[in-house]
Structures are given as C-alpha cells and as structure tokens.
Amino acid sequence: MKTYEVKVLGTGMYAPKKILTNVDLESIVETDAQWIFERTGIQERHICSTEGGEFPTDMALNATLDALKAANLVPNDIDLILFGTCTPDVKLPNSASILQVKLGITNNCACLDIAAACSGFIYGFNMASAMIKTGMIKNALIVGSEMLSREVNWKDRNTCILFGDGCGVALIGRAEEGSESKIYSSVLNADGTGGEFFDQPIGGAVTPLTAEHIEAGAHYMQMKGKEMFKVATRTLAENAQKVITEAGLSLEDVDWVVPHQANIRIIETTAKLIGIGMDKMIVNIHKYGNTSAATVPIAFHEAIMDGRIKRGDVVLFDAFGAGLTAGATLLKY
C-alpha cells in the first residue's frame, strides 16, 4: 500500500478579547494574585463574550481562516474536521459540523468532535495523521477550542483560577515530494480508572440537570488538583520518552516540546523527568491559563509566528487531561 508523509500546512489561533487577571480574580473568589502566579504560573486568562461572536466554533472559524491563508488552501480543500472540545457550542449537532457550515465547505467532508478533554487536539492530530498516511484523506483540520468559563464554578477557587478560553488549530496534509516534514511517531492512551479526578457528572444521561443542581452549583467541573498533578507529570514524561524511543531519536534531537499548559510546575517537573531543559519547553501559560484542548495548538502557533519553531525543527507535542486521556506526537515541522 502506498503511504504518505504528513506535513503541518498551516496553523491559527484565536484569543477572546476580554482579559481576566489574577488581581481581577481577587474580587471574585477568596484568593491572592501572587498565590495564583506562584502555584500555577498563570497571570491572566482570556474569557469569551457571552453575547456571541466568540463561542467555540466562532473562535475556530477565525483561527481556521488564518491557518488556511498560511497553508494557501481554500475551505473546500479540507477533507476532515476533528474538533477537540469539552465545551461544545451545543450538544447536537457536533461543533465540527457547525464549523463546516461557517467555513462555507460544500464538499460534505467528515466532521467529528473529540471528547478527550485537554488531550483532544493530540487525539485529533494523531488520528487524522494516520488517515493521511494511508491515503484515506488528503487534508485535515484539527481544532482545539474551549469556552471553559461557562463550565467552571466561579465560586470554587480550586478550579476557577486555573482555566481560560481560546482556540488553536492546525491544518495538516500530505507532504509534497521532497519535503522533509514528517511524523516520526505518536502515542495515544487513557486510564479510565482516574476519571473521578476531573469530572462533571451532572447534566448527562445518568443525572439530568435540575433546578436544584443549578441552585447548588453541582453541575460544574470538579477536580482533585493534587491527584491530577501527580498523574500528569508521570504520564507526560512517559509518553514523551515513548515517542522519542519509538522514533529511534535521542533527547538531543528534539528542538522543541509543546506541552499541555495546565500549571508551570507540571511543565517544569515534566521537563526534569524527561531530562530536557526548560529552554526547549514552549510556555505561554502566564497569558492564557489552561485552555484544555486549545493549549497545545495555541502554543505551537505562537512559537511558529515568533520564529522559534522553524521548518525542519523536531517538535514534540505532549498532552494530558480528564479521562484520564493522554497523547504525544513527535514530528519534523
């Protein structure tokens, strides 16, 4: 069977206009701006307008238009949309299908949402890459877009200080003849036994939402931060090592790591466990907080735009999230 190499053709991002700083949070919950910065590395986060224009598929539309321009493609060149989100515009139809219409795509491309929380972008990236490699599709749009501000409990200081809204996308497709771009290796995994460390059990088929739940604020996301921290660092390091080993490369070959941005201390600990310097870790958590599926594509896009990540660089994506899901990708950009 003929197989194809995969190339990142273009990237894009969208950050909502409203910025919420740590100092702003002091008047929302009992917290301290300095505490937040020291324990998480976060200084501010962006928050979507609830008036419209910045819902997850709106942000994705903006980001995708930039990615299309960078890739020199038109919307109908997209054969597949994989939309990583745990905060979709609506329950049905899926966000990928809504985005297809907003982009004006008329080729009936396949549309699927990926519910893998913070690993959603990497899940989409790896699945779409496999489809491009085998020739099933030519170009795929991978989205990570979240409006977590709707789903966090603004009375719970353990969670609300950590999250932000935003979107990042990547357009990937067949590498042209002679291109050095490729995917070396990828891994996806999950450990469902840790599901209760980060969940949102109210509002599904088992326990439909009631007025009492809303009154008590029981329907929001809830998290056991310390447990998540421990599993996150271990899993991120293990998956990074797995893809490097599988590719037959060494740590020195890796130019950049684009890790999920949940907490600067998670990123620092992971770097230490992998044995790689912080100078190779792409970090922007201070500006956006944890935007779940959007952290990796936003950080990737920013590092391309400011010239850190260049064509030919070896880049490692590494993410972890609720589920507990995780995934990594090692690629030559």
The residues binding ligand COA (CB under 6 A) are 31-32, 35-36, 39-40, 118, 157-158, 161-162, 223, 225-226, 228-229, 232, 262-263, 290, 320-321
CA nearest neighbour of 13 among 241, 254, 222, 300 = 300
Q: Which amino acid is at 76?
A: N
Q: Work out the burial of residue 104: count CB atoms within 10 Å of its CB; fewer than 13 is exposed, 13-18 middle, 19 or more buried.
A: exposed
Q: Please, what is the minimum distance in Å from the beta carbon of residue 263 to ligand COA?
A: 4
Q: Is 118 a catalytic residue?
A: yes
46, 219, 260, 301: the catalytic one is 260
Q: Smallest gap, in angstroms, from Cβ of residue 250 to ligand COA?
A: 28
Beta strand segments in 17-101, E: 18-21, 44-47, 80-84
Active site residue 290: yes
Residue 128 or 232: the one with the smaller Cβ distance to ligand COA is: 232
Q: How far apart are CA 268 and CA 184, in angstroms?
A: 25
β-partners of residue 141 are: 81, 171
For ligand COA, the closer of residues 59 and 293 by Cβ is 293
Residue nearer to ligand COA on the CB measure, 230 or 308 = 230
CA distance 96 to 101: 9
- State in angstroms the smallest separation of the CB of 32 from ligand COA: 5
What backbone torsions phi and psi does residue 64 show, to the nearest 5 degrees?
-70, -35
Q: Residue 326 and residue 123: Cα distance in Å, rounded? A: 8
What whole-number distance in Å separates Cα of residue 29 and Cα of residue 117?
25
Provide the angle, in degrees to the nearest 10, between the axes of the packed helices 33-40 and 264-274. 20
CB contact at 8 A, 119 and 329? no
**Residues paired with residue 121 on neighbouring β-strands, in sequence order:** none
CA distance 219 to 57: 23
Instruction: Confirm if 31 and 25 have CB atoms less than 8 A apart.
Output: yes
- The residue from 48, 86, 111, 118 that is catalytic is 118
Q: Which of residues 61 and 118 has its CB atom nearest to ligand COA in the complex?
A: 118
- Reply yes or no on whether 86 is catalytic: no
List 139, 239, 263, 290, catalytic entry: 290
Q: In this complex, which beta carbon is closest to ligand COA, that of residue 173 or of residue 297?
A: 297
Shortest distance in whole angstroms from residue 106 CB to ligand COA: 37
State the minimum distance, in angstroms, from the CB of residue 45 to ligand COA.
Answer: 13
Q: How near is the Cβ of 122 to ligand COA at its closest, in Å?
A: 12
Could you tell me how many residues make up the chain? 333
Residues identified as active-site? 118, 260, 290
